[in-house]
Amino acid sequence: MKINILTVLFVFVAGIVSAQRVKPDVIPTATGSLTIQPIEHASLVLQANEKTIYADPSGSAEKYKGLAAPDIILITDIHGDHFDPVTIAAIKTAKTIIIVPQVVADKLPAAYKANVVVMKNGDQHTESDIAITAIPMYNLPESANAMHTKGRGNGYILTIGKKLIYLSGDTQGIPEMRALKNIDVAFVCMNLPYTMDVAEAADAVLAFKPKIVYPYHYRGKDGLSDVNKFKSLVDAGNKGIEVRLRDWYRN
């Protein structure tokens, strides 16, 4: 039997990358298990109902080795830690649906057009039996020269097996976040000067009361935000909210 050295090397490298990843979490839903795989910063992979969703994939295709190719890619905004054209080109397949705000769609190659779904704040779309709602993400106070202006990017709410999954994108504790209802799993950013500080993030989470919250996107200009402080603030305000701390920066 001939051994393909390149195949062996690929499997070996993929195994190393997989071993370096945070262990995925599994959450039961009405239609089976939802697997949550943190990748790095704003990037994560969700798997459910034999479908794989990549959120803001960036940082090179190496980070996704060993994972199923994406059926859906969600992009929240134009900044490089959310929209990475090189990584997208390397990981997508001919069948991958790419869901984006208009500002990102304008930067995608024309060849992608048939697979692109453009959503603006408030839009709803169903893809592979997964309901997707685009919601606002922006800085406060609102300003024309803010790093994230209202209406440009999207946060997303996914409905998977009757579970509501919220991806904040780059935002502060805006009224639209604080008004959310019945969120089962939330991914909430906290990094200055780009989004919000730990105290504001905790206060917003205490307002909309997700069952589970993951602090993510917590690397800022001056290093990593204090996610342990975030957990302490949320625990003190509502012990019914489970704060899950995962290492999004281990690689």
pLDDT per residue, tens digit, the chain (251 aa), is 444 443 333 333 334 445 589 999 999 999 999 999 999 999 999 999 999 999 999 999 999 999 999 999 999 999 999 999 999 999 999 999 999 999 999 999 999 999 999 999 999 999 999 999 999 999 999 999 899 999 999 999 999 999 999 999 999 999 999 999 999 999 999 999 999 999 999 999 999 999 999 999 999 999 999 999 999 999 999 999 999 999 999 86
When divided into structural domains, the chain yields a total of 1
What CATH number is given to the structural domain containing 69? 3.60.15.10
pLDDT at position 18, please? 55
CB atoms closer than 10 angstroms to residue 63: 19
Q: Residues 53, 37: contact at Cβ < 8 Å?
A: no
Query: Does 79 fall in a domain?
Result: yes
Query: Does 229 fall in a domain?
Result: yes
pLDDT at position 251, please? 65
Cβ-count burial 165-191 (b if 16+ within 10 Å, e if not): bbbbbbbbbbebbeebeebbbbbbbbb
Distance from chain centroid for Cα 188: 9
Q: Which range of residues forms the domain containing residue 141?
A: 24-243
Query: Does 10 fall in a domain?
Result: no
- What's the DSSP call for residue 82? T
Query: Does 249 fall in a domain?
Result: no
Query: Does 115 fall in a domain?
Result: yes
Query: Does 248 fall in a domain?
Result: no
Query: Does 15 fall in a domain?
Result: no
pLDDT at position 5, please? 46
Query: Does 124 fall in a domain?
Result: yes
pLDDT at position 19, please? 56
pLDDT at position 138, please? 98
Distance from chain centroid for Cα 142: 23
